[in-house]
Structure 1
Amino acid sequence: MRGNSFRLLRTAALRPQPRKPACSLPQYGIRWSSSSAERQWSTPLAKSLAKAIETTGPISVAAYMRQCLTSPDGGYYTRQTPGHDQFGAKGDFITSPEISQVFGELVGIWLYTEWLAQGKSDRVQVIEVGPGRGTLLDDVLRTISSFKGFAQSIEAIYLVEASPHLRSQQAKLLSGTEAVLQETDLGWKARSKHIPGCDIHWCEDIRFIPKESSPTPFILAHEFFDALPIHIFRAVPHSHIPASSTTLTPTGPLKPKRGPSSEPSPQWHELLVAPVTASSTTTTTFSTSSTAPPPSAVDDFHLTLSKAPTPHSLYLPRTSARYEALATTPDATIEISPESLSYIADFAVRIGGANPPPSPTPTTPSTTLSSPQAQPPSGCALILDYGPATTIPAATLRGIRSHHATSPFASAGLVDLSADVDFVALAEAALAASPGVEVHGPVQQADFLESLGIGERVAGLVRGKGKSGGKEEEEEMVRRIEGGWKRLVDRGPAGMGRIYKAMAVVPHREGVKGVRRPVGFGGDVV
């Protein structure tokens, strides 16, 4: 799960659409005060968060999301509630691999096509970040096992997972019902049931997986980035900043941009999370086109605008010209996920090697990235998630519980939180991190799956299922198979085939005439 397990296509069980509603931000200038001793909180985690805010003041949305999702004291993915499972029809959301086994099979075939196109490496490692219950990887490895050469090349499988509860579920599915995890220097391991002689390793952070002299990496991130914490910023047109304001950042000290003669000037301010109190002048509201019933839970928290720029608001919006271009647009809102940029940069370095580090200066600390790898660029990363193809996400923070949209600020730890993925930001970060990679996509999920032959695979699956069981059982099975794949490629306004996207990071090959597009992104196997 960022090292944590947030993934999988979260979508209402009966409608092919991502989690909604998106939060509608309140106007800036809200005052914050606390009276937590006088109120009851919806969950123990909400109470502990409120008490912490009493001491520190309002916290970033990123800090709030991180605690709600991965806190050891009741986080959504780290808590263990007997009889409750986040995934599936009986949980809070259903995933693409659970909608249809064909989804994971085609992802496995895509990895196989990349293995062929890159020369059939004899040393491969498979990495999945945020593997959920392991359903996707189970279908992927089962498919790969049919391609003997590819299967024999896999030396190790790595799962980045911080939740002990989910690690246990993954081990049972991927290693066998009686699987026992053995502790290692990295974390834990068990033997794969699909790839003979291959161990599956679990670790809590991708940084624990060695880079240098490692096998060719084949990386999967299925609905992982949407649940990584975000910061939310709003452009304030007339911001009064003290002349002495200076903030230390990873690239050195920063001062807010000031107008002539110290006049107020446009600045990014950060939207922060604070408890809802009797003295709050407004609370966060939501709008939705969903037919789901309105949430019954009362918000414990709401968004409030910082009175002055924060360290994050001085630093993060300056990392891209896309953000800078909106700085003078009054009330423009942007969402930035630094953890997402860090993860995609890690993927790129594993595939293509790192850019040479800049020479340290008094204001620029030396980089901690690994030196460029000695071997030629190789491997790939496949990202499957939802978000806009070209624009910057804004006001997309959302919650889901029991397949219904709900407020992200109610029932902390019991509600899944996510936000749209900024695919352009991911591409920029990957290209900036490594000289040896290129990025393809994003493309709509429907286009990706159809180019891999989802229709043909489903037709074959229907023919096979038609030979088992009685007529009623056969008809029900065919309905499930056909309904599942049609849901995955639905191009309607809220269809999964349109909203969900696929993006690939692959090696950049100098000297090759033209661009080799991967399968699913306008290309062929070779």
Structure 2
Amino acid sequence: MERLDAFMARAAGAYYARGEGIGRDFTTAPEMSQAFGECLGLWAAVTWQAMGAPERVVLAELGPGRGTLMADALRAVGEMVPAFASAAEVHLVETSPGLRAEQARRLGTHVAAWHDEAGSLPPGPALIFANEFFDALPIRQFVRRAEGWRERFVQDGAFVERDSDHAEEAPEGAIREICEPARSIAGGLAARLAAQGGALLMLDYGPEASGFGDSLQALRGNAAADPLADPGEADITAHVDFAALAEAGRKAGAAAHGPLPMGLFLQRLGLMARSAMLARSRPASAGTILASAQRLVAPEGMGRLFKALVLAHPALPTPAGFEI
């Protein structure tokens, strides 16, 4: 019997170690549209300029998948903001040997180093991407029963419950999810940014406000799967508690901007305009390019479910895309 977070960590670790799931089991925004990574790269360049254009800046990504986002970002800034491209020192936080190999193939000598955890990134001002990273971190689940709160464990592919000291007012049957690693990572990076400068941009799925509910899910073959069955064979995730991450950031001394719907954020960055340019230059693929971009911004697609949140040095101006 394992506590849910231990089970989820073991399952996710085994799954991502192979690095074969992207495209087969799920598709991320960078894989759908190159304009996504290009817009984020230019967002980082604008933020770097707002920081005073330091001579050296750590440009990092947490869970960079196949390296697509970073490759698109670097190409865009290399063409449009070469001074930022020269100042940026690329670091990737990745534990999967398979994905590291793919990232090395795509990014080559652009990568200064790989890291097993965010806490080992080198010191100095930093701009950090976290796209669909926090959703894969292990959660704990607590269920309110008539006799009090119980915590979920996993045994033989099913939930079992044990007594818990969790305490808060809630109706019977309510489920509270807590992702302790997410809060720890967000708080640690926020403290670093508050002391040394920079910003962390998080793009992931989940509600704007904390609430009750069971969001544990798994994908296999681009279809829903039982998250407790065949650990390591499916992508297991849960909704991100953006309010908790913002609170962790503020407690660590950073400013929090957002969350706001990802579709609105990307439209403000010019994703649709960039996609239209790409469509004109590639008429044979124009329909696919525009449909993919629309999926990223449309409320009925990823535009509303996914959110954008920034933790930044408190003296940094409001980041691009978050203006009221």
Displacement of 1:519 after TM fit?
1.0
Superposition pairs for residues 389-428 of structure 1, below 5 Å? 389-392=208-211, 394-428=213-247
2:16 is the alignment partner of 1:77: yes
Cα distance, 1:379 vs structure 2: 0.5
Alignment correspondent of 2:116: 204
Matched, 1:335 2:177: yes
**Alignment size in residue pairs:** 323
Alignment partner of 1:269 is 2:150:
yes
From 490, 494, 503, the equivalent of 2:298 is 490
Counterpart position of 2:322: 521
| Greater helix content | 2
Give SS of 2:47's match.
helix
Q: Distance in 1 between matches of 2:170 and 2:117?
A: 38
Quote the Cα distance in structure 1 between the aligned partners of 2:188 and 2:210: 23
Q: Deviations over 1:232-278 (max 9, x none)?
A: 0122342xxxxxxxxxxxxxxxxxxxxxxxxxxxx432111111xxx
Partner of 1:226: 135
SS at match of 1:331: coil
Of 182, 196, 202, 1:383 maps to 202
Q: Displacement of 1:462 after TM fit?
A: 2.1
The answer (yes or no) to whether the contact 2:18–2:99 under 8 Å persists in 1 is no
Q: Where does residue 114 of structure 1 map in the other structure?
A: 47
**Aligned residue type for 2:268:** S
Structure 1 unmatched ranges of 5 or more: 1-57, 176-190, 193-198, 239-266, 276-300, 318-323, 354-376, 467-473, 510-514
SS at match of 2:258: strand
| Cα distance, 1:428–1:455 mapped onto 2, change above 3 Å | same
Relative distance call for 1:393 and 1:100 in structure 2 (3 A) is: farther
Mapping of residues 185-204 of structure 1, within 5 Å: 191-192=109-110, 199-204=111-116
Cross-structure match for 1:67: 10
Secondary structure of the residue that 1:68 maps to in structure 2? helix
Aligned partners of 1:209, 1:103: CA distance in 2, in Å?
24
Aligned equivalents of 2:271, 2:121: Cα separation in 1: 33
Distance, in Å, in 2 between the alignment partners of 1:516 and 1:413 is 42
**Matching residue's letter, 1:149:** A
Which residue, out of 2, 5, 21, partners 1:86?
Answer: 21
CA-atom RMSD in angstroms? 1.6
Structure 2 residue 305 is the aligned partner of structure 1 residue 305: no
Q: Is the 8 A contact 2:154 2:160 kept in 1?
A: yes
Map of 1:5-154 to 2, 5 A cutoff?
Answer: 58-70=1-13, 75-79=14-18, 85-88=20-23, 91-146=24-79, 147-154=81-88
CA deviation profile, 1:301-343 (whole Å, cap 9, x unmatched): 111111x22xxxx3xx5xxxxxx5x435323210000000011
CA distance in 2, matches of 1:236, 1:398: 22
1:454 matches 2:271: yes
Deviation string 1:335-360 (CA, Å, 9 cap, x unpaired) is 0000000110121012003xxxxxxx
Q: Distance in 2 between matches of 1:393 and 1:221?
A: 24
Name the aligned partner's letter for residue 171 of structure 1. A
Q: Residue 18 of structure 2 aligns to a residue in which SS?
A: coil
Could you say which structure has the higher strand fraction? Answer: 2
Q: 1:58-79: CA deviations, max 9, x gaps?
A: 2111000111111xxxx11113
What does the per-residue CA deviation read over 1:365-414, in whole Å, with 9 as the maximum and x for residues that have no partner?
xxxxxxxxxxxx52110000000111325211001100100110112211
Q: What whole-Å deviation, never above 9, does each CA across 1:44-64 have from its counterpart, x for those lacking one?
A: xxxxxxxxxxxxxx2111000
Counterpart-to-counterpart distance in 1, 2:5 and 2:281: 47
Q: Cα–Cα, structure 1 residues 328 and 393, in superposed 2: closer, same or farther, change >3 Å?
A: closer
**Whole-Å separation in 1 of the counterparts to 2:126 and 2:270:** 25
Looking at structure 1, the residues matched to 264 and 121 of structure 2 have their Cα atoms a distance apart, in angstroms, of: 32
Cα distance in 1 for residues equivalent to 2:153 and 2:230: 18
Q: For the structure 1 residues 124 and 101, does the alpha-carbon distance in structure 2 shift closer, same or farther, using more than 3 Å as the test?
A: same
Residue 309 (structure 2) aligns with = 503
Mapped contact 2:3–2:140 kept (Cα < 8 A): yes
State the alpha-carbon separation in 1 of the partners of residues 75 and 208 from structure 2. 31
Give the Cα–Cα distance (whole angstroms) in 2 for the partners of residues 503 and 403 of structure 1.
26
| Corresponding residue of 2:261 | 444
CA contact (8 A) 2:94 2:115 kept: yes
Distance 1:503 1:393, change over 3 A: farther
What amino acid is aligned across from residue 120 of structure 2 in structure 1? F
Once the two structures are superposed, residues 99-120 of structure 1 have per-residue CA deviations (whole angstroms, 9 ceiling, x without a partner) of 1100001111111111122211
> Percent same amino acid among aligned pairs?
36
> d(CA) in 1 for partners of 2:218 and 2:143?
21
Partner SS for 1:132: coil
TM-score by length of 2: 0.95
Secondary structure at the aligned position of 1:76 is classed as helix
Q: Is the 8 A contact 1:445 1:498 kept in 2?
A: yes
- Find the aligned partners of 1:386 and 1:328 in 2 and give their Cα distance: 24
Letter in 2 for 1:168: A
Counterparts of 1:393 and 1:122, CA distance in 2: 45
